[in-house]
Amino acid sequence: MSRERRSWTAKEDQLLREAVQKEDPDNANPSKWHAIAKHVPNRTNKDCRKRWFAKMASDVVKGGWSPEEDERLVKGIERYGTRWSLVASVVQTRNSDQCAKRWTDTLNPAIDRTTWTSDADELLLRAVAEHGKVWTKIVKTYFPGRTGLSAKNR
């Protein structure tokens, strides 16, 4: 049940700024998204959180990760597990979505990084023929431990 994507209006951006200031003032990493979303009609807590961190949080870095950011990410995971907004508050320069993606695609030590075999290549081609390019489903079903990104790149 996917919802239709709607662009944010200038009015909605303003309501979001005011809601963050009212509900979670002076917090560089707001976390009270359910309360914040109540001030922005027809937007969910997730909509508001994603908009805030993608477009409005001034200290969010885009692009490659520094070794220091990786180090803080690992510390955040050790402290909070996969509670991504809390992990992001430890990293400081990245949002929760960026932290989750970096961990699951790159840093998680549980990732299977073994060389792809010719048998695995054949299985991957059959899986794509059957399921399409649904990488997450393919790796969960046929290649547990590998990432969707590694299957896609292969």
Per-residue exposure over 79-110, b if at least 16 CB sit within 10 Å of its own CB, e if not? eeeeebbbbbbbbeebbbebbbebbbeeeeee
Average pLDDT over residues 123-128: 94
How does residue 108 score in pLDDT terms, banded at 50, 70 and 90? Answer: very high
Is the predicted pLDDT of residue 123 greater than 90, yes or no?
yes
Cβ atoms of 28 and 59 within 8 Å: the answer is: yes
Residue from 47, 76, 141 nearest 36 by CA: 47
Average pLDDT over residues 20-49: 88
Question: pTM, whole model, 2 decimals?
Answer: 0.60
Is the predicted pLDDT of residue 42 greater than 90, yes or no?
yes
How does residue 88 score in pLDDT terms, banded at 50, 70 and 90? Answer: confident
Token digits for 22?
Answer: 């009212």
Token digits for 63?
Answer: 């692009």
pLDDT score recorded for residue 56: 74
For residue 38, count other CB atoms closer than 10 A to its CB: 13
pLDDT score recorded for residue 28: 67
Look at 15-29, 72-86, 93-107 and tell me which has the smallest mean pLDDT.
15-29
Angle (deg, nearest 10), helices 135-142 and 118-131: 130
Cβ atoms of 124 and 154 within 8 Å: the answer is: yes
Where are the extended beta strands (E) located within the chain?
A: none
